[in-house]
């Protein structure tokens, strides 16, 4: 049931793997860990201009959060990303309303530990050698920088290239070559008190074709994930350099 493109009424999503949700489908993950921040990546894969609605349940005492995933053709759309903390909940479920017609949404989880099942994603280490490597759609890079200064560089010739960086209980959304319109309304959202705290999710932008950030490792894992379309990721690259 958890293989790509297989529609099912109830999907076991505890590996955080890339799945495809269609009208009436529900996926549930029960393995979120306290102290970690997770990104729920949602990408409209129906190949039409109709927006899709995904209901995200993270608490029995709070109403579901509705995330709108923009319609897209020719693999040109952006992902919508919802952030949730394992400190607030161990379980999260996604569902597409049963009256959604031909809606189809790709979903996967991102964090320093997720997905544990990387099926459907390109998961590989990011070497700290300064080499620019492709930052394609469905890419997940990870590194364990030592206790020294490092430099991260993300490059894209396309406007509004979006990616996410995870480090335990924090995430950074990088927007390279930001347009004057900024991010789409609802494209980035935080669910729950911990994920909504100031500093849990920050947005870092540049108005040029690259963005740089100095980071200092401490022997823990860092993760970088593409949150953009196949079309927009064709010229994108990422590099990590030891300083």
| Whether residue 53 has pLDDT greater than 60 | yes
Residues 102 and 131 in one domain: no
Residue 143: enclosing H or E segment and its boundaries? strand 139-143
3-state secondary structure 178-214: CCCCCCCCCCEEEECCCCCCCCCEEEEECCCCEEEEE
Strands 188-191 and 52-57: unpaired
Confidence of residue 75 (pLDDT cuts 50, 70, 90): low
Based on the fold, state whether residues 89 and 151 are members of the same structural domain.
Answer: no
In-domain check, residue 52: yes
List beta partners, residue 57.
93
Q: How far apart are CA 216 and CA 37, in angstroms?
A: 19
For residue 78 the two structure tokens come to 């952006």
Give 96-117 pLDDT, tens digit per residue.
988 777 778 999 999 999 999 9
Residue 47 belongs to domain with CATH number: 2.60.120.1220
Q: Are residues 136 and 232 in the same domain?
A: yes
Please list the residues that pair with 93 across neighbouring strands. Answer: 28, 57
Which of 77, 110, 143 is the endpoint of a domain? 110
Q: 135 and 92, same structural domain?
A: no
Q: Which has the minimum average pLDDT: 3-7, 24-28, 184-188?
A: 3-7
In the prediction, which pLDDT does 2 show? 39
CATH label of the domain that carries residue 156? 2.60.120
The answer to whether position 22 is within a domain reads yes
Asked whether residue 5 is assigned to any structural domain, the reply reads no
Q: What is the spatial distance between Cα 43 and Cα 162, in angstroms, rounded to a whole number?
A: 13
- Cβ burial of 49 (10 Å; 0-12, 13-18, 19+) is exposed
User: Residue 17: which domain range?
Assistant: 10-110
Q: Judge whether 170 lies within some domain.
A: yes
Burial of 147 (0-12, 13-18, 19+ CB in 10 A): exposed
Answer yes or no: do 83 and 148 share one domain: no
230 versus 16: the higher-pLDDT residue is: 16
Cα→Cα distances 32→1, 29, 51, Å: 20, 7, 28
Asked if residue 234 and residue 148 are part of one domain, the reply reads yes
Same domain assignment for residues 228 and 128: yes
Q: Considering the entire predicted model, what is its pTM?
A: 0.90
Q: Examine the domain organization and report whether 92 and 152 are in the same domain.
A: no
**Per-residue pLDDT at 107:** 94
**Does residue 172 sit in the same domain as residue 212?**
yes
Same domain, 140 and 44: no
Structural domain count of the chain? 2
Q: What share of the chain in percent tops pLDDT 70?
A: 91
- Looking at residue 187, its pLDDT comes to 84
> Is the per-residue pLDDT at 241 higher than 80?
yes
The alpha carbon of 22 is separated from its chain's Cα centroid by a whole number of angstroms, namely 19
Residue 85 sits in the same domain as residue 193: no
> Do both 76 and 131 map to the same domain?
no
The residue out of 56, 85, 110 marking a domain boundary is 110
Q: Is residue 182 part of a domain?
A: yes
How far is the C-alpha of 198 from the C-alpha of 213, rounded, in Å? Answer: 20
């Amino acid at each position: 049931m958890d293989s790509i493109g297989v529609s099912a009424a109830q999907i076991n999503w505890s590996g955080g793997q890339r799945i495809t949700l269609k009208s009436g489908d529900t996926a549930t993950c029960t393995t979120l860990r306290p102290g970690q921040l997770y990104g729920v990546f949602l990408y409209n894969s129906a190949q039409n201009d109709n927006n899709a609605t995904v209901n995200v349940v993270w608490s029995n005492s709070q109403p579901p959060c509705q995330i709108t995933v923009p319609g897209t053709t020719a693999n040109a759309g952006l992902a919508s990303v919802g952030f949730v903390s394992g400190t607030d909940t161990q379980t999260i479920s996604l569902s597409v309303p049963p009256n959604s017609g031909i809606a189809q949404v790709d979903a996967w989880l991102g964090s320093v530990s997720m997905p544990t099942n990387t099926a459907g994603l390109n998961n590989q280490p990011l070497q700290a050698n300064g080499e620019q490597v492709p930052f394609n759609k469905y890419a997940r890079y990870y590194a364990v920088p030592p206790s020294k200064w490092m430099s991260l560089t993300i490059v894209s010739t396309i406007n509004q290239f979006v990616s996410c960086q995870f480090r335990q209980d924090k995430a950074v959304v990088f927007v390279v070559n930001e347009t004057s319109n900024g991010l789409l309304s609802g494209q980035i959202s935080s669910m729950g008190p911990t994920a909504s705290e100031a500093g849990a999710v920050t947005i870092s932008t540049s108005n040029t074709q690259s963005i740089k950030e100095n980071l200092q490792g401490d022997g823990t894992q860092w993760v970088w994930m593409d949150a953009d379309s196949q079309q927009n990721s064709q010229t994108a690259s990422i590099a990590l350099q030891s300083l």
